[in-house]
Amino acid sequence: MMEVWGRRTSSNVQAVMWCLAELNLPVTRYDVGHRFGGNDTPAFLAMNPNGLVPVLKDGEAPPLFESAAINRYLANRYGQAPFWPADLATRTRIDMWAEWAKVSVSLRFTAPIFWQLVRVPAADRNLTALNQAIDQLSRLLAIADAQLQQHDYLAGDALTLADIPFGSLLYRYYDLDMPRAPLPALAEYYARLCERPAYQQHVIVSYDELRLSPP
CATH annotation of 88-205? 1.20.1050.10
Burial class (CB in 10 A: 0-12, 13-18, 19+), 178: middle
Helix (H) or strand (E) holding 5: strand 2-5
d(CA 111, CA 207): 15
Residue 112: asked if its preceding bond is cis (omega within 30°), the reply is no
pLDDT in tens, the chain (215 residues): 899 999 999 999 999 999 999 999 999 999 999 999 999 999 999 999 999 999 999 999 999 999 999 999 999 999 999 999 999 999 999 999 999 999 999 999 999 999 999 999 999 999 999 999 999 999 999 999 999 999 999 999 999 999 999 999 999 999 999 999 999 999 999 999 999 999 999 999 999 999 985 44
- What Rg, from alpha-carbon coordinates, does the chain have? 17
Helix (H) or strand (E) holding 55: strand 55-58
Where are the domains positioned within the chain?
A: 2-78, 88-205
Could you confirm whether domain 2-78 is CATH 3.40.640.10? Answer: no
Contact 141, 105 (CB under 8 A): yes
Provide DSSP, 84-141.
Answer: S-S-HHHHHHHHHHHHHIIIIIHHHHIIIIIHHHHHS-GGG--HHHHHHHHHHHHHHH
Contact 106, 182 (CB under 8 A): no
